Structure 1
Amino acid sequence: SNILSSHFTVKIRRKYQIYIELNSPGLGESKGFSALMVNAIPNFHFIAGNQCFPRYLYDENGNRFEAITDQGLAHFRAAYPGETIGKEDIFYYCYGLLHSPDYRARYAANLSKQLPRIPAVKEFADFQAFSEAGRALAHLHINYETVEPYPATLESTATEPAHYRVEKMRHAKIKQNGKGVKDPATILYNHRVTVKDIPPEAYRYIVNGKPAIDWVVERQSIKTDKASGITNDANDWACETMNNPRYPLELLLRVITVSLETMRIVDGLPGLDIAKT
């Protein structure tokens, strides 16, 4: 579409020490569009064969420079004459816009087969709103391990650190039309700890094809790879790296908070009113 701009796009020619990256699915991936800010270089399949867009790039001598080009900056400044716009504003504008339900719906076909392009919205107030939302989302997503845990109801008989060992979390079952179905409000952490009263709204935050909460339930576990025989034990990371046997439980509660806050911000985004070019 000729109303879209891709001036923010940059190519990564080396694995530089990138401060912040914007990740979106690889071209042709089938899990739907996702964008997630990180502060470390991710695995290639972090988000379905992701594409990465850094805040900064570094030269051979370690000198840092902006990944947003001067041409990109000029493009957005021309869209809002007389307004003060910096490259950081544009970077977070991109992140905010990529979370817009209007944007994702309008360009769903394009997002399934090509890199996202970034239009300039018509009003500067909307540009600011998207940029501020993108900044808030970035802070939330990068600092997911330090947000306040969601105050869910915990039914627990745990009295010592070893009681927080997790093997495989699962959802409780409830009866529906005579059949047992998954109860999203309740997660059985282990035989001593049950997490209850999880808000249904928390499951609206989807990353790489499924709710962020379900990623925690799936990955914070003990799992042995059949081919290699290697066992991945979430408790090892909790105890040896985080020095906190409760880490898997706290991570679950923190991701509930992140999910709710993310959707609160997304629901507050302005509609997508694009400037004519």
Structure 2
Amino acid sequence: MVIWRRIDGRGDREATFGPEDVFDYIYAVFHSPRYRERYAEFLKIDFPRVPLTWDREKFRSLVKLGGELVALHLLESSLLARPATRYPVVGDNRVEKGHPKYFAPGEVGPGSGSKGGDGDGAVLEVGRVYINKSQHFEGVPPEVWEFQVGGYQVCDKWLKDRRGRQLSYDDLTHYQKMIAALKETIRLMEEVDSAVGEWPLK
């Protein structure tokens, strides 16, 4: 392959590639769980190294996956147009002290006295994130709630940073898009590992 700069910064991914393709490739590699695990100690003390591949098909696959990840993290992906989560309870949308609280599928929801709340204490079929005693986001998988970036739980920290505030319609929509983006990110990270195969990258 040779570099060929087009207006959009991309090549045809057959005989040429551009800077946008390289960026997407790197973005995909850095989201490989196996890469992070294999180089965990090194990443603590130095900048990440970028392993290169001579395999054209592997390169193309990683460019595609990296591009999808970039679109998700910019909240520009078409996959975020209709988030799968719900926000079913009307209220003041205020993130109260002691919240957010997460209830996983199979747990008894608020009302049981375990974590407090105004619910009926029923066993939940889907994960919920409560911002106060009654209002919640419904349909949040445990792996999404627990997903971390830079040592922080993304879904938890975003709401904690807004304690005492009323969430606007845009805030509610943004949070639901975040949840959807993280869910898709987890799926794509698995696909990146499948595309890479064995480490070191060849």
**Shared fold (TM-score, shorter chain, > 0.5):** yes
Contact 1:202 1:260 in 2 (8 A): yes
- Give the superposed CA RMSD: 3.3
User: Are 1:204 and 1:259, in contact at CA under 8 Å, matched by a contact in 2?
Assistant: no
| Aligned counterparts of 2:184 and 2:133: Cα–Cα separation in 1 | 30
CA deviation profile, 1:71-129 (whole Å, cap 9, x unmatched): xxxxxxxxxxx831222211111111000112111111111100011011242211111
2:56 equivalent among 124, 145, 150: 124
Aligned with residue 100 of structure 2, among 162, 167, 170 = 170
Q: How does 1:239-258 map to 2 (within 5 A)?
A: 245-258=168-181
Contact kept in structure 2, 1:172 and 1:187, CA below 8 Å: yes
Structure-1 separation of matches of 2:88 and 2:60: 44
Which residue in the other structure is 1:154 paired with? 87
From the superposition, tell whether residues 172 and 115 of structure 1 become closer, same or farther in structure 2 (CA, over 3 Å).
closer
Return the structure number with greater helix share.
2
Q: How does 1:76-95 map to 2 (within 5 A)?
A: 83-95=15-27
Q: Which has the higher contact order (CA 8 A, sep 6+)?
A: 2
Partner of 2:127: 185
SS, match of residue 71 in structure 2: helix
**Residues 95-244 of structure 1 correspond to what in structure 2 (within 5 A)?**
95-143=27-75, 147-148=80-81, 150-158=83-91, 163-168=92-97, 169-172=99-102, 174=107, 180=114, 185-203=127-145, 205-222=147-164, 234-235=165-166
CA 1:274–1:195 in 2, change beyond 3 Å: closer, same or farther? closer
| Seq. identity, % | 24
Question: Does residue 259 of the first structure (1) align with residue 191 of the second (2)?
Answer: no
Q: Figure out how many residues of one structure are paired with residues of the other and give that number.
A: 170
Paired with 1:191 and 1:180, the residues of 2 have a C-alpha distance of: 12
User: What CA distance in whole angstroms lies between the structure 2 residues aligned with 1:180 and 1:90?
Assistant: 50
Residues 1:148 and 1:212: Cα distance change in structure 2 (over 3 Å):
farther
Gaps of 5+ in 2: 1-8, 117-123
Normalised TM-score (structure 2):
0.69
SS at match of 2:17: coil
Unpaired stretches in structure 1, ≥5 consecutive residues: 1-65, 67-81, 223-233, 239-244
- State which of 268, 273, 276 in structure 1 corresponds to 2:191: 268
* More strand as a share of residues: 1
Distance of 2:53 and 2:115 partners within structure 1: 44
Q: Give the partner amino acid of 1:248.
A: D
